[in-house]
Structure 1
Amino acid sequence: MGQHLVILTRGIDLSVGSNLALASVVGALSFHAGAPATVVIAVMVGCGATVGAINGLFYVFGRLPHPFIITLATLSIAKGLALQLADGRAIPGMPDSIDALGRDSVWGLPGSVFVVAGVAAMLFVMAKTMVWGRWIYAVGGRPDAALRMGIPVSWVLVSVYVISGLCAGIGSVILAGRTDAGSPLFGNLLELDTIAAVIIGDASFLGGRGHLGHALIGAIMIGVIRNALNLLNVNVFFQLIVIGVVIVIAVESDVLRNYLEGRVRVLQAGRQS
């Protein structure tokens, strides 16, 4: 969901996997330092949001040509920090409430489902009913026009990267609860899955078009594809190839759709004239 907002603004966040790993390690270390569950959760979510803020601030106010550069850098930095802090190994132990969130079920549904549903509801309300949500679509669709309209483009861009990092931090809480540990190896290639989910969910790399619900459907489809490949005993290395092919097909479909829509608009304009 965080990646979806970033792509809506014509950006990309390659650091989500490393950000998740770093947040889980920091959370495990804070737990072993004696912090209560609420503080551990706040630390993990705050760590994710901090990395997201660094991405957004450096991209916008550092006047970088594309967010690919800073998010690729923070991918490496966050992964290195996680490995350094954890000494290259998993750190076992999480508060009972976090373990319950990752492992227990309510009404037959995993606790993580309610977390995802809650985050989705908040982001949906923000994107569809608040001015900020309209600004995101405006910045992604026509950045120059948005600037001329007086929209604070810079802070809108920073906000989506903060939310992307925040979502990575929330994801680290759920994953740490499932495994009862923090690990620098969490989130490997997670950025590929998030990008694939957003593009499969009908968002456009050209920005300004996409729906949060469709991104969630895309994430479910990625999960179904991986589960099906596992059930068929497909080699894990070949699974990476399949996901890569899915991304290529999704991107090419987006390019073809934009081309056809452009041709239709030209034909319609020609008939009207």
Structure 2
Amino acid sequence: MAEKVHKVSVITGAGSGIGRACALALVADGWSVVLVGRRKDTLEETAELARAGAGQGRGRGQAVPVVADITDADAVTRLFVEVGERFGRVDVLFNNAADTMPYTPTEDVDVDDWRRVLDSIATGTFLCSRAAYRMMKDQLPRGGRIINNGAPSAHVPRPDSIAFTAAKHAVAGITRSLSLDGRRYDISCGQIDIGNVTPVGREQPAVRQADGSLRVEPTMDVSHVVNMVVTMANLPVGVNIQSVTVMPTAMPYVGRG
């Protein structure tokens, strides 16, 4: 029997980085969060951090790790069946998971790398959104919210990053399509394009510039991203942040090439 909860979110790529940080914040805010990823150990680390935070009185939510490959349609179906059986609904899906690859000239991009990046970002976003959309249109109260992790590269590419750029452009198209198609079912969809986040436990790597050079760019703390995702998640039905870019002010983006 499904638990009697209202605020239920699913976060992909929840085992580390932005996904983990957003999951911890939503749990602290009282959400039940389904942590999705391919590695059981990192998902359980996130769940343990969430439990430790809740034990200190930070929130009343819970974190549930579920191992799933979001590029596998059957695995995504099983994931959302489990969400439905456990909670009875899903209020927010945060499509965050992504595989990347090193900067590579277009003519040298291996087709397997192309498929891996496109599958993890574009196909994974589609499959999870489709499954969430099906639940949201039929559940009571009806509706929900899908938040897609885009990137500045969804609008302005870096050199030698054709697979990542194509995948993030696809995410932008998915966001707009879901926004349009979801209106009649009270389903909102918005996109957060995230600039350089300060790495944890390592130096900020040099990144490719428009002239082909590499240099270290300004970064920001992940808390600024987390605050925006939590704000988007908590918007009432009928209100949407369609698109927002959160980035360091001095990061090259506008006119970067």
Question: Taking structure 1 as the reference length, what is the TM-score of the superposition?
Answer: 0.29
Which structure has more relative contact order (CA 8 Å, sep 6+)? It is 1
The structure with the greater share of residues assigned to helix is 1
The structure with the greater share of residues assigned to strand is 2
